[in-house]
Chains A and B, each alone.
Chain A
Amino acid sequence: MKMVVAIIRPERFEAVEDALAEKGYIGMTVTEVKGRGEQKGIKLQYRGTTIDVDLLQKIKLEIVVDDKDVDKVIEIICKNARTGKYGDGRIFVIPVEKSVRVRTGELITSDS
């Protein structure tokens, strides 16, 4: 199993959520976060002054899927979160050691 962690634009979240649900990827954890990429946020220029908006609002999605589904999930997220401009976000894939359903105590070895 892998955890796909995606940092995306807030306004693209619903499109990503709907597209994932359509392909059967229902479970997810969503957090409102702030962050920056290599562009270090946004610089707003005014007459004589510059305002740095260092950290921008983003949405963090965490989805745990089987190894075989990782590329599919990444593709869905990229397709639906992309605007083509700086700040579209990043996706990280992290190995998951163990997964337990709290209600039953059952050890989940596969997501399917």
Chain B
Amino acid sequence: MNSGDVAWILTSTALVMLMIPGVGLFYAGMVRKKNVVSMISLSIVSAILAGVIWVLYGYSLAFSGDVGGFIGDLSKILLANVSLDGSDAIPEMLFMMFQMMFAGVTLAIITSAIAERIRFSAFVLFGVLWLTLVYIPFAHWLWGNGWLAGIGALDFAGGIVVHVSSGFGALALAFAVGKRYGYGEHPIEPHSIPLTLIGGSLLWFGWFGFNGGSALLADRIAVNAITVTFIASCFAGLTWMILSWMNGKPGSLGIITGVIAGLASITPAAGFVDIPGAIVIGILAGVICFMALEFRIKKGIDESLDAWAVHGVGGAMGSIAVGIFANPAISGYAGLLHGGFDLLLTQLLAVAVTAVYAFMVTFAIAKAVDYVVPLRVELEEEYVGLDISQHGEVGYA
């Protein structure tokens, strides 16, 4: 055990934890003020559900043992045998905590799809099932020596496990829950841009721990990860700003969304690409996620706060980019530009399989929950807002 490594991963764990309410604030500003409490609460509850499930069986199923490459076993249920000491650089207990935060932030991202219309009790049920049937398998496949890790797929900090899963899950959930009342007929506008900017900025800050901590050591890979993370997000934010300026004004909501798109895109690649690779990934994130968002709006899909366009498409693009830009000088893996071809095929397969699995299983979970507890609130409750109808509270007096 090395105290420097432990200190850095402890710090990173705290940074990722801050991203969970960060998602809540980011989303809360984009909804109408009658749903601000609901939106932040959904993120906080995501952290709670992830924490409880992780302790009960989640960590064990994701990270201990292996059953057919698909799922782990129950040998570490209730965190049995999870060591505080250990011979590795950091104690397993710390690794467990770091990973717990990832589960929380992933579930928080998916709440984009159900903004302003979800029945709170249905979300709790959905969250338990989604973490169990989608997130935990993905974490095992990529990081717990599951089948995708076995075929050589790379996901440094969650481009697939976190962003493709939540993004494509959000798209499926949006189809299952349906559009908000009046969507496309009258404007449904963000009620507080400053709140969104605060939440987005907290995400940006927390991402240093998200990607930098994923080296699981305080080493040169962590330094590379933090560097390329900030560089890619700046180029993505700049690209989005230019694109929105060409179409009107450089709205701050677009600029921060571009930053998040860059962050989601560089996440799978942060431990594998160099600085030129990060710049290209950032610019591509700005262009492709912007186009995905416009496509989503044009098609009239109410995936309300764009988890799919930003996290899903960004995470998929970045995961494929690993197969192109991975530089062996960073971590020993070579993408297409450095003479490797197999990695690109593996990444394409991993992205395709996870996107399809996330979409289909999420849709099935949503329909199953809807059968037991209706996903949507009644029309009158939606009209009054979820703050009063679901929580009995108001955000602003």
Question: A interface vs B, CB < 8 Å?
Answer: 11-12, 14-15, 42, 44, 51, 53, 56-57, 87
Contacts and interface: CB of A to CB of B under 8 A. Distances in A.
A51 B392 contact: yes
A11 B182 contact: yes
Interface of B: 34, 182, 186-188, 378, 380-381, 383-384, 388-389, 392
A14 B392 CA distance: 29
User: Chain A: interface secondary structure?
Assistant: strand
A51 B380 CA distance: 12
A18 to B, nearest CB: 11
Nearest to B388: A53
A42 B34 contact: no
B187 A14 contact: yes
Given A51-B389, A57-B34, A15 B186 contact: yes
A14 to B, nearest CB: 6
A53 B394 CA distance: 11
Given A44-B389, A51-B392, A57-B34, A14 B384 contact: no
Contacts of B188: 11
Given A51-B389, A51-B392, A57-B34, A42 B186 contact: no
Contacts of A12: 186
Contacts of B187: 11, 14
Contact of A53 (B182, B186, B384): B384
B381 A44 contact: yes
Given A51-B388, A51-B389, A42 B380 contact: yes
A56 B389 CA distance: 12
16 contacts: A11-B182, A11-B186, A11-B188, A14-B186, A14-B187, A15-B186, A42-B380, A42-B383, A42-B384, A44-B378, A44-B384, A44-B388, A51-B392, A53-B384, A53-B389, A57-B34
Contacts of A14: 186-187
A56 B388 CA distance: 11
Contacts of A87: 383
Nearest to A12: B186
A59 to B, nearest CB: 12
Nearest to A41: B384
A44 B384 CA distance: 9
A89 B182 CA distance: 18
A51 B381 CA distance: 11
A56 B382 CA distance: 12
A63 B378 CA distance: 35
A87 B186 CA distance: 17
In the A-B complex, the 7 residue pairs with the closest CB atoms: A11-B186, A53-B384, A42-B380, A44-B389, A11-B182, A53-B388, A14-B187
B361 to A, nearest CB: 30
Contacts of B381: 44
A25 to B, nearest CB: 20
A56 B187 CA distance: 19
Contacts of A56: 383-384
A70 to B, nearest CB: 26
A13 to B, nearest CB: 8
Nearest to A86: B380
A44 B186 CA distance: 24
Nearest to B34: A57
Contacts of A15: 186
A96 to B, nearest CB: 30
A8 B232 CA distance: 46
Contacts of B384: 42, 44, 53, 56
Q: Which of A12, A14, A42 has the most CB of B within 10 A?
A: A42
B341 to A, nearest CB: 54
Contacts of B383: 42, 56, 87
Given A14-B187, A42-B380, A53-B384, 16 more contacts: A11-B182, A11-B187, A15-B186, A42-B384, A44-B378, A44-B380, A44-B381, A44-B384, A44-B388, A44-B389, A51-B388, A51-B389, A53-B389, A56-B384, A57-B34, A87-B383
Nearest to B189: A14
A11 B182 CA distance: 8
A96 B256 CA distance: 48
Contacts of B388: 44, 51, 53
A62 B389 CA distance: 31
Contacts of A57: 34
B56 to A, nearest CB: 27
Nearest to B377: A44
A56 B34 CA distance: 11
A87 B380 CA distance: 11
Contacts of A53: 384, 388-389
A78 to B, nearest CB: 16
A11 B383 CA distance: 10
